[in-house]
Amino acid sequence: MIYLSQLILNPASRMAQKESRRPYELHRTLMHGFADKRKNGSVLHRLDINPYTGMMALLVQSTVEPNWQPLTEIGQGAYLLSPPAWKMVDPSFQNGQLFQFRLTANPSVKREGKRHALRKEEDQRRWLETKGTGSEGKKRPSNGFKIVEMDIHAGSNQHDDIHRDDNNKHRLTVYTVQFNGRLQITNTEKFKTALEKGIGPAKAFGCGLLSLAPT
């Protein structure tokens, strides 16, 4: 079971404006909707900002039911522009099924304990293709899908400060790109698991949520 939520942030709210530029702070705020269930909720989110209207739509996916009442009280009720909307879905898939998809992700590789961004388009394409089909040589498991076609929007660096237990701040930069295209399901069970857990790292920075639409 998956819960899909849409939260429309108020562009006149200073807090919403600040969090649109600070993805980890945005993540911390939305986690108020899950209280003690956050560790088991597989919470994913993506902030879509309309370039023409400035509307900020926060999409949230979880495997536990959210409670958005705390967010309606933030900023004297000015944080959200409209009441939260959410629904429960139980997706059913078939091998060979085609979907349009959108994914904001952090295409990267880990070397010597550090994550390195992949900034060349051919490397980004290979990264997402491998996420779907897996790679035997490097023992990367399949996530049950293959890419049929994809477009990649120009990447950008996302910055935020992470507060440690010793009250020191750690500046973190995450490189993100947006993938759009079509995919085909090759293994329904693996695909459903990947959909729930998200694709790739940096989920607290708004990465990993795979949106699907019929094609």
Can you name the residues that pair with 37 across neighbouring β-strands?
A: none
Q: What is the fold, at CATH topology level, of the domain defined by 2-89? A: Alpha-Beta Plaits (3.30.70)
- CATH 3.30.70.1200 placement within the chain: 2-89
Which pLDDT band holds residue 193 (cuts at 50, 70, 90)? very high
Report the pLDDT averaged over residues 83-88: 96
DSSP 164: P
Across all residues in the chain, what is the average pLDDT? Answer: 92
Question: Residue 136 and residue 133: Cα distance in Å, rounded?
Answer: 10
Which pLDDT band holds residue 141 (cuts at 50, 70, 90)? confident
The pair phi, psi for residue 141, each rounded to 5°, is: -70, 155
Residue 166 clears pLDDT 60, i.e. is over it: no
Q: What is the pTM of this model?
A: 0.92
In the chain the first and final C-alpha atoms are separated, in Å, by 23
Q: 96 with 145: CB under 8 angstroms?
A: no
Q: What is the fold, at CATH topology level, of the domain defined by 98-214? A: Alpha-Beta Plaits (3.30.70)
- CATH 3.30.70.1210 placement within the chain: 98-214
Which pLDDT band holds residue 41 (cuts at 50, 70, 90)? confident
- The residue with greater pLDDT, 87 or 112, is 87
Query: Who contacts 160 (Cβ-Cβ below 8 Å, separation ≥6)?
Result: 22, 23, 24, 25, 171, 172, 205
Q: Give residue 189's identity as a one-letter amino acid code.
A: E
The stretches of 20-161 forming alpha helices (DSSP H) are 23-30, 69-72, 121-133
Question: Residue 212 and residue 140: Cα distance in Å, rounded?
Answer: 23
Nearest to 183 by CA among 146, 133, 212: 146
Q: What pLDDT does 11 receive?
A: 92
